[in-house]
Chains A and B, each alone.
Chain A
Amino acid sequence: MLNKLRRVGPPLLMLAPSLILLGVFVYGLIAANFTTSLTDNHTAAQATGQQPAVLVWFTNYVDLLASEDFQHSLMNLVLYTVVFLVGTMVMGFLWAWMLEKPMKGEGLFRSVYLFPMAVSFVASGVVWRWLLNSNQDEQASGLNRLFQIVGLDALQNNWWNNVTFGIIAIAIPAIWQLSGYVMALFLAGFRGIPEELREAARMDGASEWKLYRHVLFPQLSPVALSALIIIGHMSLKAFDLIMSISKPANYQTKVPAVDMFVFKSSFDYANAAAVGSILLIIVAIVIVPYLVRTNREEKR
Chain B
Amino acid sequence: MTATVATAAVLGLTLAACGGSGDGGDGSSASGGADQVEVFTWWAAGSEKAGLDALVGVFNEQHPDIEFVNGAVAGGAGSAAKDLLQTRLQAQDPPDTFQAHAGAELQDYIDAAQIEDVSNLYDEFGLTDVFPADLVDRLSTDDGKIYSIPSNIHRANVVWANPTVLEDNGVDPEATYDDLDAWMADLEKLDKAGVTALSVGTTWTQVNLLETVLLADLGAEAYSGLWDGSTDWNGPEVKAALEDFETLMSYTNDDRDGLDWPEATQMVIDGTAAFNVMGDWAVAAFEEQDKVLGTDFTAAPVPGTDGVFDFLADSFTLPVGAPHPDGAKAWLETVGSLDGQVAFNKAKGSIPARTDADPADFSEYQQTAIESFSNDTIVSSLAHGAAAPVATLNAISDATSKFTTGASDLAGYQSELAAAAQG
Contacts and interface: CB of A to CB of B under 8 A. Distances in A.
Contacts of B116: none
Contacts of A251: 398, 401-402, 405, 407
A252 B405 contact: yes
* A interface, size bucket: 35 or more
From DSSP, what is the main secondary structure of chain A's interface residues?
helix
B6 A13 contact: yes
A249 B204 contact: yes
Contacts of A139: 196, 253-255, 272
A47 B406 CA distance: 35
Contacts of A13: 6-7, 10
Given A14-B10, A266-B391, A72 B2 contact: no
A10 B6 contact: yes
Contact of A267 (B3, B202, B391): B391
Interface string B370-409: 0000000000000000000011001101100110011100
Interface in A216-274: 246-247, 249-252, 262, 265-268
A21 B284 CA distance: 51
B257 A161 contact: yes
Contacts of B107: 44
Contacts of A10: 2-3, 6-7
A17 B7 CA distance: 11
Interface string B115-128: 00000000000000
Interface string B213-225: 0000000000000
A45 interface: yes
B113 A262 contact: no
A3 B86 CA distance: 53
Contacts of A135: 253-255
B13 interface: yes
Contacts of B61: none
A17 B402 contact: no
Nearest to B16: A17
Interface in B208-258: 253-255, 257-258
* B interface, size bucket: 35 or more
Interface in A55-69: 69
A68 to B, nearest CB: 9
A81 interface: no
B63 to A, nearest CB: 31
Contact of A44 (B14, B111, B257): B111
Contacts of B6: 10, 13-14
A249 B401 contact: yes
A72 B112 contact: no
A9 B7 CA distance: 10
B390 A267 contact: yes
A165 to B, nearest CB: 12
Interface in A161-176: 161, 163, 166
A50 interface: yes
Interface string B169-196: 0000000000000000000000000101
B385 to A, nearest CB: 12
B108 interface: yes
Contacts of B254: 134-136, 139, 158, 161
Interface in A154-193: 158, 160-161, 163, 166
Interface in B81-114: 82-83, 86, 89-90, 107-109, 111-114
A174 B254 CA distance: 24
A43 interface: yes
Contacts of A21: 17
Given A139-B255, A249-B203, 18 more contacts: A10-B7, A17-B13, A43-B391, A48-B112, A50-B111, A50-B112, A132-B258, A134-B257, A135-B253, A139-B196, A160-B257, A166-B405, A249-B397, A250-B203, A251-B407, A262-B394, A265-B83, A266-B395
26 contacts: A10-B2, A10-B7, A43-B108, A50-B111, A51-B111, A133-B258, A134-B254, A136-B254, A139-B196, A139-B253, A160-B257, A161-B255, A161-B257, A163-B405, A163-B406, A166-B405, A249-B202, A249-B398, A250-B202, A252-B407, A262-B394, A265-B79, A265-B83, A267-B86, A267-B108, A267-B112
Interface of A: 9-10, 13-14, 16-17, 21, 43-45, 47-48, 50-51, 69, 72, 129, 132-136, 138-139, 158, 160-161, 163, 166, 246-247, 249-252, 262, 265-268
